[in-house]
A and B are shown apart, each in its own frame.
Chain A
Amino acid sequence: MASAPENEKNASAPEKKTLTLKSMINNEEFVVDEHVALQSVTIKNMVDSDCAGDVIPVPTISGEILALVIEYCKNHANPSASEDDLKKADAGIVAKDIYTLIDLVLAANFLDIKGLLEVTSQKIADSIKDLPHQDVREIFGVENDYTPEEEAAVRAEHDWAFEGFP
């Protein structure tokens, strides 16, 4: 993928409309081509209804995560990218630790970017698939509210699902 600075002047090309996305968590700003940002249905709705000012504030999403989201949108806004290229690029974006992935899935959900929600959810599912339940509880902050007897009963009901399970 192109790594050239986003705002480099290009005199010959007509000026592209850009939007500025600002993370409200650490005030980091990103200038993005409009067609890239509009892959987010949330941003598109704001722009369509004239709710978007010069700077679009993005609450609850850190600059680090917003950068990943923008990278995803750029890749998918590139009309010459092949399906294979996109697959590889997606895999690169989601090759992160589980906590970054959870931030990313929340961002994809908030910004309503279906493709990113899909690949991130899939990656989280793949990451937790074979983990012991205690680790999954840890990751998702799940409090085990079963009594030992209740938990044993749930396991007994779906005994086969726990065969070969750590």
Chain B
Amino acid sequence: MDDSPPKRHKPPTTEQNLKVDIGGDQDDDKEDRISNLPDEILCHILSKLPTKHAVATAALSTKWKHLFPTIPNLCLHLDDSDHGESSPVSHRTTNFTNFMHNLLTNTLRDVRIRKFHLRCYQNYENAHVNAWVSAVLGLNVTFISLVFDSKNTGVSIDGIFNCNTLEYLFWTQHCVLNVPISVYLPNLKRLYLEGGKFVDGDAVDRVLEGCPVLKELSLDSCEFEDIEYLCISSPSLKCLLLYNCYQENMYEVQIDTPSLEFLYYDDHVAELYTVSNLSSLQTAHIDIGTSDQQVEDADDEDLTQYDQNVVDLVTACCNVNFLYLSRSSVSVSFLNFHFSY
């Protein structure tokens, strides 16, 4: 056995070991230091750094420049508010735009990534945002999370509705959300949409038709222009969350989801409910009532109809193991509900 002293890192005695003597006797120490952590471990460490910091390690050496794109199952987490608050907004957005362009089209060209999380607080030209997301869709991504806080910034590309690899899509934007005529997301399991404005009433219909294995759908504060029916029809859907989507225009809500196990519905009462299949439902949380606007605009007949609508929905859900009803939903239901059990 070799009895030579173990090759170990020089034990740091003080904080100074992290400091560098520029031009000093660095080379003498180098023998002791680790200089060859395997790339596999370096990649693992890089994958634990915030994306911004991990990308910046490219400036360490040529070897490190090539490490970042080789991280297996790369997850990008980008937030335009990270640091740099001191510089002017226009400078920051230009800088971020260039960074995203270089990262996605140069650094990560032909790389596979697993997750892409983007949060933008500032305004960006939609052409830029569309180009970033298009590039990401070409990298075999399975998870996309997009949050655009600015009212004018958002994604508008058909590609996001036509992607073979996508399994999770979380998407918050406050501008128009264009759903193309043809939607094909054959592996999408979870879809969360928040704040989007749908320009036609069939948009949700088309999305569901194009997602044959969708398990979870959440529509939060979405707006529907020119809509008569909101049709949630999916044979695969197990979990449905509808929250605050009912605005001024009245429409009917149709639900046909034979596999649905969990329903969370917190909204203003719809014009009518047509619930055709909830035979798998196990848990329902229902909080629906009239909005001030609805009460103001309604005559007595309308109000009776609204009450009846609540009753209809609750009746359709009554075969569950757990049913939560809000006060408004309960009061209406108890007044009208004929308990048949």
Query: How many residues of chain B are within 8 Å of chain A by beta carbon?
Result: 58
Contact check: which of A103, A109, A138 meets B38 at CB < 8 Å?
A109
A140 to B162, CA, bound (A): 43
Query: Which of these binds chain A: B55-63, B226-234, B308-316, B323-331?
Result: B55-63
A109 to B40, CA, bound (A): 9
Given A121-B48, A159-B95; A103-B9 close (CB under 8 Å): yes
Which residues 60-95 of B have a CB within 8 angstroms of A?
A: 60-65, 82-87, 92, 95
Q: Which residues of A contact B335 (CB under 8 A)?
A: none
Main secondary structure of the interface of A (DSSP, over half): helix
Given A138-B18, A160-B84, A165-B56; A99-B37 close (CB under 8 Å): no
User: Of residues B42, B59, B102, which shows the largest number of chain A Cβ atoms within 10 Å of its Cβ?
Assistant: B59
Given A62-B6, A129-B50, A158-B102; A140-B37 close (CB under 8 Å): yes
Q: Are B56 and A161 in contact (CB under 8 A)?
A: yes
* Nearest-Cβ distance from residue B29 to partner chain A, whole angstroms: 9
* Nearest-Cβ distance from residue B15 to partner chain A, whole angstroms: 9
Q: Are B12 and A99 in contact (CB under 8 A)?
A: yes
Which residues 1-58 of A have a CB within 8 angstroms of B?
A: 24-26
Q: Are B19 and A109 in contact (CB under 8 A)?
A: no
Q: Are A163 and B18 in contact (CB under 8 A)?
A: no
Interface residue? A85 (CB, 8 A)? no
Digitize B5-35: 1 where CB-to-A-CB distance is under 8 Å, 0 elsewhere.
0101111100001111010001000100111
User: Of residues A105, A135, A158, which shows the largest number of chain B Cβ atoms within 10 Å of its Cβ?
Assistant: A158
Which residues 139-164 of A have a CB within 8 angstroms of B?
A: 139-146, 151, 154-155, 157-164
User: Of residues B8, B10, B47, which shows the largest number of chain A Cβ atoms within 10 Å of its Cβ?
Assistant: B8
Interface residue? B303 (CB, 8 A)? no
Q: Which residues of B contact A91 (CB under 8 A)?
A: none
User: Of residues B18, B37, B63, which shows the largest number of chain A Cβ atoms within 10 Å of its Cβ?
Assistant: B18
Q: Which residues of B contact A125 (CB under 8 A)?
A: 45-46, 48-49
A163 to B92, CA, bound (A): 9
Q: Which residues of A contact B151 (CB under 8 A)?
A: none
Q: Are B6 and A160 in contact (CB under 8 A)?
A: no
Interface residue? A102 (CB, 8 A)? yes
Interface residue? A98 (CB, 8 A)? yes
Q: Are B83 and A141 in contact (CB under 8 A)?
A: no
A99 to B53, CA, bound (A): 20
The 9 closest A-B pairs by CB, nearest first: A164-B83, A141-B35, A163-B84, A160-B99, A125-B48, A99-B9, A25-B6, A161-B56, A160-B95
The residues of B with any CB-CB pair to A shorter than 8 Å are 1, 6, 8-12, 17-20, 22, 26, 30, 33-38, 40-42, 44-50, 52-53, 55-65, 82-87, 92, 95-96, 98-99, 102-103, 106-107
Apart from the given pairs A109-B40, A138-B18, A140-B34, 10 other A-B contacts in the complex at a CB distance below 8 Å: A122-B48, A125-B45, A129-B53, A133-B56, A138-B19, A140-B60, A151-B59, A155-B59, A160-B99, A161-B52
